[in-house]
Structure 1
Amino acid sequence: MLRSLYAYKGTHARTLGFQVGDKFMEIGPSRDPNWLHVINERGSVGYVPKNYISADEGYVRGQPCQQEDPAQESEAPPIDILEFIDGCIEAIHLNASERGGNYTRGEHDALHKLVELRQDWYSKCPPSSHPTKRPAPPPPQRTTSQLSVDSVGSLPSPCLPGTPRSPSISASGSSISLGPPPKEATPTESSAETTTSFMARGESLVRDESSGSSEGHDTSIGYESEMRSDVDSVVQTSIKSLLSQVPKEYLRTLVEEVRSSTSISYTTSHQVVEVVLNSLATALPVLQPLCLHILSSKGDQVDGGADKWQQSSDGRRLVELLEKLRECKDDEQQRSWALHEDEHTITTHLSDLLDLLNTGDLMVCRSVLSLDDFRPLLTLVQYYQMETRWPLRKLLLQVFGAVCQMSAANISYLSASVFPVELTRELLDSTYDQERLRYTSLVLGMVLCMGDTLPYPHFCVMNENFMNVLLDGIEQYHEDPDTEQLAELYLAIVLAFNLQYTTLPPSAVNPPKSCETTEEGEGGVKSQANGDLEENKDATKTAMGADSENIIIKLLSKRENTKYFTEKLLLLFNREEDPLAMFDHEPRPPHSVLKMMRDMYSTRATASIFYTNDECVLCDIIIRQLSDLPADDKRRNEYLHLMEGVIVAGRWTEHQHRRKELCSSCANILAEEEPAAVDDQKIISSLMESQPYFFHV
């Protein structure tokens, strides 16, 4: 307990003014040793000069001192500290209620500190200083004015600050100690109002005691429980009034504050805010409605408005970086200088752009990149075409990789632009080093991975010559461990390019007699014409199940060495891995490996590429999938089509590997009654009609 020696007028917002003799309690540490962080009798929290304050007799920091004479421990001073703490708590509640139930942060901290001090004092004081248990209260018909001295002595021991204290009867019942006379306090006009409120509350407590239980109990504990109940009720009322005042996008505001203060990614900042709010709701149930209300605010839905990105720091920063890159692209004079003095500046812009795309708000970045029909992406593509310096092109490729990872719409726009053609031309240039080829092939695979239809002019560059370069690279680069990754990237491009072609069902093995197909041009493009069937007999044999325009199938049928290609393809097929499954965008493209296997087993020329042992392994995989996959899984239909191709175009009729297990799997599918199994059953029925000798099920 502290007491002022001199009067002081507060000169700053965080300092307290006081008169001579005012009491204080230190509630926290102070960074400046010349000032003390205290609370006064009116519940105000602030700082007071240390040389104006003196420790009250027998007290230090609100804790009872160890006195030499134990007999003095039962006197009034231990009760004074309890009175002071309870008075401060009441004063804080009264001040908050005058503001509509709104507690300041300092008041919240002060309440917690006062409750801790009160519990600490109660546990450390000697038992003789604890408030005594009072006897049973008088009958209910007695009023406040009729209470005797014994009844008054049974009231809660803490007296209210600024009011005359009633006589307090000691534990022995033989000594009465009076508190300090009222003249020691110098209440102001505001303290007088506080005293009146406190006295009214005391009368209410007396009336409650007159109708209470007959069992004795500890008044200090009951009083403290009532204080906590009042705190919770007032805070709950305040929280409910605040729910309507919370902005709709306050969750986004909190995330922005965390991100700007810590420089961590937007996703991590969002997780931090969620963890903090959930922890607060769990630790302080009274704050649960407010925390849940903030968490339920859909502030991250930026796609609802075209200009929402302007409210985000990530959006404004992204637009700023894109504008700077556009200025660099349009600066023809700078780009013509031989010294390339702008390289450091552009490198900084591209690095910042890449970091923002990887760590920024995903919804905001999507919104900005889609402005004006994806004009920001067009600017980046144009700049990539103009730039010749590999370090800058490397950063641009990394930026395009981040752009592809953001949304399927970005990939669709890039695939329709001139960007794939530019990447293809780089891969056709054999003078580039391995690093450049790896970056270029990786990004080209990303752009083609969704199977979006390419514009027709793209096929003028992405032609048979380009496919031959890729197939040659697959067979050559796998031999060296340093270039094996490049061979896998080339394989991914081949699988992605194969998605451009459709796979015809095996039922198209024999074209109708009314029309024939003739082969024209090196690209293998077929055209239909009326004429003699015998003249076009050889041409009809080249088209079985695959699209007649598929240049990959055409080139594979003519190649002599496809060893690594088939081995890697079969390995991916067994593991059910898809090299093009880089992103989680919707709609999902077809499984590229499964589609390539179906296309290769659509003609006898490409089916014969696989060795007999490889085909037996393929049959094992198909039987396993037919046994494991449910009827509603679309992949089972794909495996049935592949099984049909293996039987019709492959060598299965010669070796008949695991014929019984295959027939058993088909019989189980035919016995299914689910509506989803109808299409699968049609495939099996058609195959049984065409191959009755091998399917006696």
Structure 2
Amino acid sequence: MIGSIVSTLRDSWVTFPKTMSSRNRKLAQIRCEVVQLIFKKKTPQPIPEVDVNESEEETQCVQQLIDERVAEHFEPNATDKVVETKSETNCIPNKVNIKSESTSAAKFVETDCAVKSIQISDSLIPELIERVRVTSDLNHNMCVLTVKTVIECLSERIPEWSTHCVKIMDELSKNTDNPNALVQSSDLVNLKSVFRKLSFCKNDEQQRNNPIHRDEEVIRDYLDHLLQIISNANPALIKDEICGQNYERIDMLVAYYQMETRRSLRMKLYSIFICLISLFEDMVSDFILTSVLPSELVAEMQHYMDDTERWCSAALVFTAIFSTGHKPPINIYSHINEKFITEELDLKLP
């Protein structure tokens, strides 16, 4: 029955002229009935009105679809052929793609809403800087520059993040020097550990009465570590640890300098004092000028004139202390007098 209908349809399509509108309408209805019969629809939908002035290309496309559906009906194993899918895609509007585009648009809106709902924690910037500091061992300023560069790149490459990146950049410019209690600083932890070890060495009874030369390398390593921390860490994070409690840490370093006469240890202490004075200028007027350090530096410069490097290091710390403009105590002039100044000016280093 289907074969005869299809044969009649083909003959009618070739024989009847297209100008006969009633026959063209009848032909279109027959084609729709054939397709419905092939699909075996239980409740066929109403047959839509067909434009009788359809183009020759559309007519060939419909005819091709009828032929393929008839072949599918008689060849059940060929239902998954690629040709069928291709012909449908070329002849019927691509509703699947429309649905896919709608889904993509919905996902974009959902993603955009998710981005807008992001909350930036106050500890984000300190944590970013701390992670870069730990993993790269860069100094604090270089860590801030690294974080800034990464955020700027993300803002440029991912426009959806630009608003949040701008906000992060604003916070970065404001809070780079402000410590955050929620983020534990590795520099602060290491600084406390080094001071604790130095304090143990200084207070050792045997060390105070009879210095043991075999511990020189150990103490020098502690001083090296201390210098590395104060040179690279955020000054705002370590200021309370170094300058707090009436400059207890600075007092310990001055006592170390007074107690230790070994050249390698004093050279390390010179570097530490210069770094501390450059970071915390107030410590000069608040503590160093009234301590024994100026007088110890005078003695060092008088006793080691033949050691150029040692004399220059002591003179550099001495100059840094008295270049701040703060008035020293009266008793300091018993060591720093006209005789001392004259000797130092007349000194000819080798």
TM-score range, shorter chain: 0.5 to 0.7
Count of residue pairs brought into register by the alignment? 275
Deviates more, 1:350-359 or 1:417-426: 417-426
Matches within 5 A, 1:594-613: none
Q: How far apart in 2 are the matches of 1:439 and 1:309?
A: 40
Query: Corresponding residue for 2:196?
Result: 323
Q: Deviation per CA, 1:111-135: give whole Å up to 9, x if none.
A: xxxxxxxxxxxxxxxxxxxxxxxxx
C-alpha contact (below 8 Å) 1:309/1:316 kept by paired residues: no
Q: Encode CA deviations 1:432-455: one digit per residue, 9 max, x unaligned.
A: 411100111111112222111111
Q: Which amino acid in structure 1 is aligned with residue 124 of structure 2? A: Y
The answer to whether residue 285 in structure 2 is matched with residue 414 in structure 1 is no
In the alignment, is residue 396 of structure 1 matched against residue 269 of structure 2? yes
Question: How do residues 111-130 of structure 1 correspond to structure 2 at under 5 angstroms?
Answer: none
1:175 corresponding residue in structure 2: 65
Q: Distance in 2 between matches of 1:149 and 1:318?
A: 87
Higher helix fraction: Structure 1 or Structure 2? Answer: 2
Structure 2 CA distance for partners of 1:262 and 1:445, relative to 1, 3 Å: same
Q: How far did 1:338 drift? A: 5.4
> Structure 1's 235 and 433: CA in aligned 2 closer, same or farther, altered over 3 A?
same
Partner of 1:332: 205
> Higher Cα Rg: structure 1 or 2?
2
Give 2:321's match in structure 1, choosing from 433, 439, 447.
Answer: 447
What are the superposed Cα offsets for residues 233-284 of structure 1, whole Å, 9 maximum, x if unpaired? Answer: 32332223222xx321210101111221222222212211111111111111
Q: C-alpha distance in 2, partners of 1:439/1:465?
A: 21
User: Which residue is 1:512 aligned to?
Assistant: none
Give the CA deviation at 1:226. Answer: 5.5
> What are the superposed Cα offsets for residues 388-446 of structure 1, whole Å, 9 maximum, x if unpaired?
11101111111111111212223333233221221111112255411100111111112
CA distance in 2, matches of 1:355, 1:261: 16
- Tell me the secondary structure at the aligned position of residue 234 of structure 1: helix
- Structure 2 residue ranges without an equivalent (≥5): 1-44, 51-57, 81-92
User: Shift in Å at residue 291 of structure 1?
Assistant: 2.1
TM alignment of 1:147-186, pairs within 5 A? 172=61, 174-175=64-65
TM-score in terms of structure 2 length = 0.68
State the AA in 2 paired with 1:411.
V
Q: Which residue of 1 aligns with 2:165?
A: 291
Within a 5 Å distance, the mapping from 1:237-276 to structure 2 comes to: 237-243=113-119, 246-276=120-150
> Per the alignment, in what secondary structure is the counterpart of residue 391 of structure 1?
helix
* Structure 1 segment 483-502 matched on structure 2, within 5 A: none
Contact between 1:310 and 1:316, CA under 8 Å: does it hold in 2?
no
**Cα gap change, 1:369 to 1:227, in 2 (>3 Å):** farther
Query: Per the alignment, do residues 309 and 231 of structure 1 end up closer, same or farther by CA in structure 2, a change over 3 Å counting?
Result: closer
1:333 positional shift: 0.9
Alignment of 1:213-612 (within 5 A): 229-243=105-119, 246-297=120-171, 298-302=174-178, 308=181, 311-337=184-210, 339-412=212-285, 413-473=287-347, 476-477=348-349
Alpha-carbon distance in structure 2 between the residues aligned to 1:462 and 1:441: 13
Structure 1 Cα separation of the partners of residues 95 and 235 of structure 2 = 58
Q: Which residue of 2 aligns with 1:553?
A: none
Instruction: Letter of the 2:284 partner, please give it.
Output: I
More strand by share: 1
Using the TM superposition, give the Cα deviation of residue 331 of structure 1 relative to its aligned residue in structure 2, in angstroms.
1.0
CA contact (8 A) 2:123 2:182 kept: no
Higher mean C-alpha displacement, 227-236 vs 433-442? 227-236
- Hey, what's the Cα distance between the residues in 1 that align with 2:295 and 2:183? 34
> Alignment partner of 2:214: what SS?
coil
Counterpart amino acid of residue 237 in structure 1: C
Distance in 2, matches of 1:415 and 1:361, equals 25
* CA 363–357 in structure 1, closer or farther in 2 if over 3 Å, else same: same
Q: TM-score, normalised by structure 1?
A: 0.36
What is the RMSD computed on CA atoms of the aligned residues?
Answer: 3.6
1:235/1:452 CA distance change after superposition, 3 Å = farther
Residues 1:468 and 1:316: Cα distance change in structure 2 (over 3 Å): same
